[in-house]
Amino acid sequence: MKWMGQFSHYSANAFRKDLISGCIVGIVAIPLGMAFAIASGVKPEYGLYTTIIAGVLISLLGGSKYQIGGPTGAFIPILLTIVLQYGYENLLIAGFLAGIFLVLMGLLRLGSLIRFIPKPVTIGFTSGIAVTIFSGQIGNFLGLQGVERHEYFFDNMKEIFLRISSLNLYSVVIALICLVILLVMPKYLPKIPASLVGIIVTTLVAAWLFPGKVTTIGSAYGIIPAGLPQFTPMEITWDRVVMMIQPALIIAMLGSIESLLSAVVADEMTGTKHNSNRELIGQGIANMAAPLFGGIPATGAIVRTATNIKSGAVSRISGVIHGVVVLLIVVLFAPYASNIPLASMAPILMVVAWNMSEHKSFRQMLKTRTGDSLILLVTFLLTVFTTLTLAVQAGLALAVILFIKRMSGMLTVNKVLPDHSSHNEKVQAHIVTEDHNCSQIGIYNIEGPLFFGATHAFESFGQKLLADPELRVVLLRMGNVPYMDTSGESNFSRLVHSLKEQGVVVIISGIRQQPMKLLKKTGLHAIIGEEHFFEHTGEALNYALHNIQYDRCIACTQCAFRECTELRREGRLRQKQIS
């Protein structure tokens, strides 16, 4: 009922807008669907089937009403690797399993976790994928013959070098014509799909001027069949499932990132807010359905989603219409697409690669020369020269290490004393000097998270405390400790126990809710004692002053506290009473 409620105020005018935007996006999606499929190592019709099946389901069931789904460039290196290693049939199984993983991620409400992937990692692997896509089209752009696709970048570059003698000037001319159209048309005719015009023009040029001189989709992959996508049952066995779990997880991870990034772009363009968990569920169902009709993995397509919004879409209906438009064109005109030169597809994918490379963000992040620059470079280079799996794992691991290093450096412990010259007598670190100190009471500001990464810094502080034989009371001001984990609690506990063994009273002020809860769970709160926890430093200091040896104040001349004069008098009085 909630889903149907979205269309309670749907009007004829809204449908007209959705119809126009759906038709435009459908036309844009056709050449991209075929190009992405060919680049992924499968037949072009499988990209079209994916656009139809997954596109409709993602629009209907996803978490963003403007989202347009289908095959995307980001998947090309992954899918090509799977096809080369395991074959097309196993790619279908991997896509189906990825759909299951996406649904589970949505049901477990993991949609919000995707945003925690560091920006340098996403830019790094996106730029690396762009390089892989671009380099993978050089052979088709030049019309090289007998080029075999390989898993790794160096092997593909070596293959191009070995086949360069088979360069086809007719293919180069066709590719250049298409490239010029792709670059010029958006400037002068932005509302007309440049990729479609490029394909039509170059197909006609090749047919009339260079008949039989360039490789076409039909000569390379056979005639694209007209008609509805046919149900394709998969042979799923336990051995195949086990074998394809890792590739499926990679597809699911990248698909979730890509779809949610696209949904965020849609939110920014429309001022709406998508449902990330529902988006994952919708993407999952679409990816489970597409392989049943021969389709490859799909996700939210940023460019097509943006085109949908710019064309005036107002609801999910535009995405459904986009899938129906592709279906009608496949049924009516699919065989004609077999005459499209592969050289026409190459510049389309090269432009897609350039647009997805995030070259501006890449250069800007490199210029910062920070840890993020290192994460970016490592992720980028590993994506290009090894595999996306290794690249993302290494990028995330490096990001975690650098984050822990930065966070551990945030923990600071400073000895402080009240500043009598200030109005509120706030405690300050600069007040503590050799001539202005207290040997019996140590007041310390602890600032930063107490976690496993800060172990060394906190242990160094503890060693200094324990090495002071005159210390009687330690007051720890913990108002600026936002978080404490079990490792931090363990170090803190060891320090408390060691101080108590030396007869030192431990007092804590201003502790936050999370560290307090942890101390209560571990029992350290009870060991320290409820009476030793204070909300304000002033109250804690008054308690501390009642737990020192007054006779040692008699000879002290440093006057660290306003109460020192009275404490010396109290010390003399007690000394007289004893004598």
Alpha-carbon gap, residue 335 to 218, rounded angstroms: 9
Name the 3-class secondary structure at 332.
Answer: helix
The radius of gyration computed from the CA coordinates of the chain, to the nearest angstrom, equals 33
Residue 242 host element (H or E): helix 238-270
Find, among 367, 371, 445, the residue nearest to 412 by Cα.
Answer: 445
- Domains for the chain: give ranges and CATH numbers: 22-400 (no CATH), 411-578 (3.30.750.24)
DSSP character at residue 416: E
pLDDT in tens, 346-387: 999 999 999 888 899 999 999 999 999 999 999 999 999 998
CA angle centred on 290, ends 287 and 291, rounded to 5°: 95
**Which residues are CB-contacts of 306 (< 8 A; sequence separation ≥ 6)?**
265, 266, 269
Q: How far, in Å, CA of 131 to CA of 551, rounded?
A: 77
Supply 462's token pair: 């503890």
pLDDT for 131-177, tens place per residue? 999 999 999 999 999 898 888 899 999 999 999 999 999 999 999 99
Q: What is the mean pLDDT of residues 204-229?
A: 92
Give Cβ neighbours of residue 45 (< 8 Å, ≥ 6 apart).
Answer: 34, 37, 224, 225, 294, 330, 334
Per-residue pLDDT tens over the stretch 322-349 = 999 999 999 999 889 999 999 999 999 9
Summarize pLDDT for 15-58 with one digit per residue, the tens. Answer: 999 999 999 999 999 999 999 999 999 999 999 999 999 999 99
* Class of residue 5 by CB neighbours under 10 A (exposed 0-12, middle 13-18, buried 19+): exposed
**Sheet with 427-428, side-by-side order of all strands:** 427-428, 412-418, 441-447, 473-480, 505-509, 533-534
Contacts of 492 (CB under 8 A, 6+ apart): 450, 458, 484, 524
Which residue blocks in 513-563 are alpha helix, DSSP H?
A: 513-522, 524-528, 537-545
What pLDDT sits at residue 426? 84
Task: State the pTM of this model.
Answer: 0.81
